[in-house]
Amino acid sequence: MTLYKYLDPNLKIIFNSLEIRFTQPEFFNDPFESFPFIQQLITKDKFDNLLASEFSEDDSNKFIKENIAATLNENFPLLTPGQRVEIENNPELIDYLKLQFPEFISNAKEILTQSSNDKWLKLSTTIKERINNNFGILCLSETNDNLIMWAHYANSHKGFLIGFDSNNTFFNQKISQTDTIRFVKPITYANKRSPLTLLKENISEDDAGEELISQLFFTKSRHWEGEKEWRMILPLKDSSRVENERYLFKVPENAITEVIFGCKMQQKEKEKILDVIKKNKKLSHIKIKEAKLSFGEFSLSITDM
């Protein structure tokens, strides 16, 4: 399958360096990009099972002592080391806190299993910030004749499209069978945002991770459905270079299959691209096409030059 990238004419430099940008979500025009709808942190069943399987009496004793130590450090900094040890190991204090421990667990369960509150909104914001700092997205499309996309992403039809071979190894850089990002895959369009529970019963860690990645990167509103988008995600640290916050990744010559000039692209801009392609024998396979206005319909026809 050929997938297309709509580009501004100023980005013709891609043919000189053979690099393409993977963009952080904060630079996209959809405010919902990589902003998860976290409805619940953990289900009650998952909380109970984790408590039963992972939290022993020794763990509770350790937890109590650590909290005593933290409280002393924060509120009584002038205590001597000997005084701290005496208080931390006071059996009456420890027994009293043990009596309070079930109430603490109950309160923690109530908070962590709550649905949709301000804490989860803040967590969603934190997740988006971390994604912006660590991941870039390459957005491609199945379609090469979308009038709105030509207008928005290719400078009002003055730009161009690059066609990529989605079967090229560049578009499958998975480092394991469970890798969920380093390959190109289609966007799912939905009417509503899917609520997300980060920890729940009867789901594997791999499936939970895939569900999270799907909502973060590969699910959009049906308002965008006409774009027929495909995406690939790569860690920003793997970029070949960074230029003005633009993370650029090397693209092999044989991943590019065609170039389509916009119906309003200036001839001098076309010639600059044609000149670079002509001088590089490794690009000689690229098909050159152009978009033309269809007469009688509000559409574009893509023809060979």
- Rounded Cα distance between 150 and 108, Å, is 52
Q: Band the pLDDT of 295: cuts 50, 70, 90.
A: confident
Helix boundaries (H) for 194-298: 205-217, 267-279
**How do strand 256-261 and strand 287-293 relate by DSSP bridges?**
parallel
Q: Band the pLDDT of 272: cuts 50, 70, 90.
A: very high
| Domains in the chain: boundaries | 2-38+121-304, 44-112
Question: Mean pLDDT of all residues in the chain?
Answer: 84
Q: Band the pLDDT of 199: cuts 50, 70, 90.
A: low
pTM, entire model: 0.77
Is the sign of the CA dihedral 144, 147, 149, 155 positive or negative? positive
Q: Which of 45-49, 149-153, 154-158, 300-304 has the lowest mean pLDDT?
A: 45-49
- Rounded Cα distance between 237 and 263, Å, is 37
Q: Would you say residue 93 has pLDDT above 70?
A: no
Q: Would you say residue 152 has pLDDT above 80?
A: yes
**Judging by beta carbons within 10 Å of its beta carbon (0-12, 13-18, 19+), is residue 46 exposed, middle or buried?**
buried
Q: Would you say residue 115 has pLDDT above 90?
A: no
C-alpha dist (Å) from residue 143 to 10, 28, 134: 22, 19, 29
